[in-house]
Copies of this chain bind each other. A is one copy, B any other.
Amino acid sequence: MRPDAGPLRLDASAPDFARDFAALVDARRESDADVSRDVAAILARVRAEGDAALHALTLKFDGHDLDTTGWEVPRAERRAALDGLSAELRTALELAADRIRAYHLKQKPADSDNVDAAGVRLGARWRGVDAAGVYVPGGRAAYPSSVLMNAIPARVAGVDRLTMVTPTPRGETNPLVLAAAEIAGVDEVWRVGGAHAVAALAYGTARIGAVDVVTGPGNAWVAEAKRQLYGVVGIDMVAGPSEIVVVADRDNDPEWIAADLLSQAEHDPTSQSILFTDDAPFADAVAAAVTRQLASLATGATATESWLANGAIVLVPSLDAALPLVDRLAPEHLELAVADPEPLFARVRHAGSVFLGRHTPEAVGDYVAGPNHVLPTGRRARFSSGLSVLDFMKRTSFLACDPAALQRIGPAAVALADAEGLPAHARSVALRLS
């Protein structure tokens, strides 16, 4: 914790700013704990022993006997969880699901099929994968919104079989998670979690059918299991601690901006909230509002730890000058809290999701706006994207030549194959040319 009990304060006009900002960009908040050997052992054990391994590891890690509690959550229990929701929560979940579905439907890629000038037919065909598995953490991070954000894109993609795995410590299920699974149309819910659950999804066991893609958040063991199984199955990007960058001028209400910063800080002590502003008194007002709000926040302990360890307030000569700095952070979430965000937004290169204007708090995107809340963290927005329908689909390219078309393009293939020292390649074309 910093001695003055405030977050890092940087001023872009200070002489050491370049060095200090570079340190902020390079600061690692992800766990360096090396669980790779333990995870490798678990994966090998599940692969070899199947359900027996799942049974033993669930007893060990989650403290319940699957044969007693049941392996799968019965449909009736999921239905009952949905029926047991308050009207307000049920309406909220269904609004969220409808909006997430509508947004993701627009992501479905179009197939192509054309004949070009040479007479060659060329195309691409997209299909959903046969089966997908969604990992849903237990405990503090068991979020129904996360169930919707992972399961709905899979359903929109056309996945045939959609499986969910979730740890149920001491056998206790989370009714909100079950209700969300029911709304999202999950086919199966298994009461297993951890690296062993990911292994079961990837390899399949006698009970749990193998899937083609595994997505969803998890602890370091789950993340490492996904990383090691990448290639056996498809996975979403490994996720790190969440982040928000807010670019705000002084015409904002400091209380609103403070709440936005805390909405990431409350996730985890490793989360990061950063404010860029061009107004020093506004920066002070936000800092004071954060301190005030922390005092009354049920998640205050976590949020305080995050804010003091990883939070930052960066004073810039103009909001325009913030943009190249924001790009270096490539944040998961970026709020542009100004009256006209368009000119700033046009210059943003790297961000997972951008929230435009004063009335678009990041949290609205976590739940009901429609875009996915599974977004690249840890500067990965430089090269990766939020979860989408594409993560549950694959593309098959295709082509067709008739004799005339092959006559036009085939000789070049023969020349290149010969040059590469691949005579059978050349022959397979040449035989059809003569």
Contacts and interface: CB of A to CB of B under 8 A. Distances in A.
Contacts of A412: 91-92, 95-96, 367-368
Contact of A417 (B233, B293, B366): B366
A353 B399 contact: yes
A406 interface: yes
Interface stretch (A11-19, A65-73, A280-288, A344-352): A344-352
A423 B122 contact: no
A176 B424 contact: no
B396 A354 contact: yes
A429 B361 contact: yes
A422 B368 contact: no
A102 to B, nearest CB: 7
Interface stretch (A75-83, A185-193, A316-324, A387-395): A387-395
A265 interface: yes
A131 to B, nearest CB: 9
A410 interface: yes
Number of copies: 2
Given A106-B112, A144-B416, A359-B403, A424 B92 contact: no
A23 interface: no
Q: Which of A121, A365, A415 has the most CB of B within 10 A?
A: A415
Contacts of A297: 423-424, 427
Contact of A359 (B227, B370, B425, B432): B432
Contacts of A303: 424
Interface of A: 88-89, 91-93, 95-96, 99, 102-103, 106-107, 109, 112, 116, 118, 120-122, 124, 127, 129-130, 140, 143-145, 176, 212-213, 227, 230-231, 233-234, 237-238, 253, 255-256, 259-260, 262-263, 265-267, 293, 297-299, 303, 341, 345, 348-372, 375-376, 378, 380-386, 388, 390, 394-403, 405-406, 409-413, 415-417, 419-429, 431-432
24 contacts: A92-B412, A92-B419, A96-B416, A109-B109, A124-B371, A129-B382, A143-B420, A230-B230, A256-B431, A256-B432, A262-B427, A353-B396, A354-B396, A354-B399, A355-B399, A356-B399, A357-B402, A362-B428, A364-B406, A366-B417, A369-B401, A369-B409, A375-B397, A386-B395
